[in-house]
Amino acid sequence: MQFYYLWRNFAVGLLCTVVTIVATHMLPFFLAPVVSLFICAVLYTIILNNEAGEQPGCMVMMQTVFYCLLAYTIVSILLVILRIWNDGSIPHELIFFDDPYLPALILMPVSFVVSLFACVFKKSMPACRTCRISHGNVYDRGYYGFVSYRETRLQLRNMVGLFGVLSVIVWAYYLMSYVDVNQNARDWYVFVWVVVLIVIIDEIYFMVRYFNIFIDLEEHDEIVTPEQLEKMSANTYVRFYVICGEDIYINPNATDRINQNEGIYDTPFIVKKSVNGISDSYVRKIAEELTGVADGEPRLFYGRHILGAEKYFMLRYFYFLNGDKSLYEKLNAPGEWIPFSKIKKIYSADPMRLSVNALADISRLYTIIMTEKTYDENGYRKNPIRSYQRDITLADVRKSKIDMQDDKWIKIAAFNSDSRFFRLKSYLRKLSGKSRSRQDVNC
């Protein structure tokens, strides 16, 4: 089912570009901006519903097509304005008030440029930021997180190539074979049906690709169907980060359980329990059994369900030890006390030496603590000097009263007073919030 959503969002996005071209040719040409803006509104509604309903599937492709159509609308309107200013120097095939108007000549190159930007700056796209906030990073989302990340990048590269090829086809025909006298059947075929056929073939290719991937994974028992999930018992994975002062107990020769890399840094205290939820007293008992230290202080870091497998839950805990680390030379697991300053250097200079989960956890910890130190709850800087940089220590972590399960500070890190148009966007969000509250009252 997850592969279906991955293909569906991709297919619907590309289909919108085809609908834009076909509808523009079927309707009066001066309605071209209305058609593209209407399809933009449809895509925007789908994206918002996906965020509200938390439906599976990556929305990067739909958002990219949304930007493509929005950019196409703006460019087509600008060409009309330039045509008026330049007194007809722009070909009338690019002007939606003239007949014939050929939208593919604008939409394909514009989509190529926008897709190229989306491919390069994918992680900065709102859909990606929202997904990371709601579902965690790619590693928190389990196997499907890896698949969606890999396939989305492939889809974006495919989109760049697709729109690049279509741009070359339509413009080569326009410059070498098109006759500016009367549009014939061959012109209609090239500027409309060639685009439609290539897009449909591309969608069929990805449909076959995902079906084959699904079959292959199912044959090797590497994929779990919804029916199998219903029969499975609940499982909770618990990771403990044992801390003493400014040192953390780490195994520098661990094997990553996700990508099987060896010789990486990770906590040795990981346990799986076939239960749905764990009480605080049980957490303390597990920590004492794993470490062999009975007077530590367990504290919840954060926990997440694995996307697509709601019966699987991963919890992260800190386990703070009192006194000096010399009192706990060897715990009940392979590892050694490593200064947190060294871990920070590894995180900054060579993050691949950390396990996948450790990298994700340190990233969340660093983001939340540093954001809380830098900004207030409204996103404004506590210190107006931007060059002023604070550091994070394990003492800060232990003294902190922040609820790290809450994504509030993650959202502030993504959108704060250092972001572009922060005041304007904040004002618009307040207005939308007020309008929604009024609707709730009326309901």
pLDDT in tens, 183-214: 778 888 899 999 999 999 999 999 999 888 87
d(CA 285, CA 299): 13
Query: Cα 264 from chain centroid?
Result: 26
**Mean pLDDT value across the chain:** 83
> 289 by DSSP, 3-state: which?
helix
Domains of the chain (ranges plus CATH)? 2-219 (no CATH), 231-374 (3.90.79.10)
Q: Give me the residue label for tokens 């593919």.
A: 104
- Which has more pLDDT, 410 or 388? 410
The residue-averaged pLDDT of 278-303 equals: 91
Residue 246's pLDDT is what? 94
Residue 441: pLDDT band (50, 70, 90) is very low
How many angstroms separate the Cα of 176 from the Cα of each of 170, 195, 351? 10, 18, 52
44-76 pLDDT, tens digit per residue, is: 988 888 766 555 567 888 999 999 999 999 999
Residue 112's pLDDT is what? 96
Residue 408, number of CB atoms within 10 A of its CB: 15
The residue-averaged pLDDT of 82-108 equals: 85
Residue 434's pLDDT is what? 42
107-136 pLDDT, tens digit per residue, is: 999 999 999 999 888 777 777 777 766 666
* Burial of 60 (C-beta count, 10 Å sphere; 0-12/13-18/19+): buried
Q: What is 139-193 written as a DSSP string? A: TTTHHHHHHHHHHHHHHHHHHHHHHHHHHHHHHHHHHHT--SS---HHHHIIIII
**pTM, rounded to two decimals:** 0.69
d(CA 332, CA 385): 46
Q: Give me the residue label for tokens 């056929």.
A: 197
Helix axes 194-219 and 142-176, enclosed angle (nearest 10): 160
d(CA 74, CA 245): 57
Residue 114's pLDDT is what? 95
Judge whether 402 and 372 are in contact, CB under 8 Å.
Answer: yes
Judge whether 365 and 393 are in contact, CB under 8 Å.
Answer: no
Structure tokens at 111: 């989509």
- Which has more pLDDT, 349 or 183? 349
Structure tokens at 69: 């159509």
Beta strand segments in 245-370, E? 247-255, 262-266, 269-273, 297-306, 309-321, 336-339
> 53 by DSSP, 3-state: which?
helix
- Nearest Cα residue to 12 out of 214, 155, 170, 166: 155
d(CA 106, CA 313): 48
d(CA 8, CA 10): 5
Asked whether residue 106 carries a pLDDT value surpassing 60, the answer given is: yes
209-236 pLDDT, tens digit per residue, is: 988 887 876 665 555 555 544 544 567 8
d(CA 186, CA 178): 9
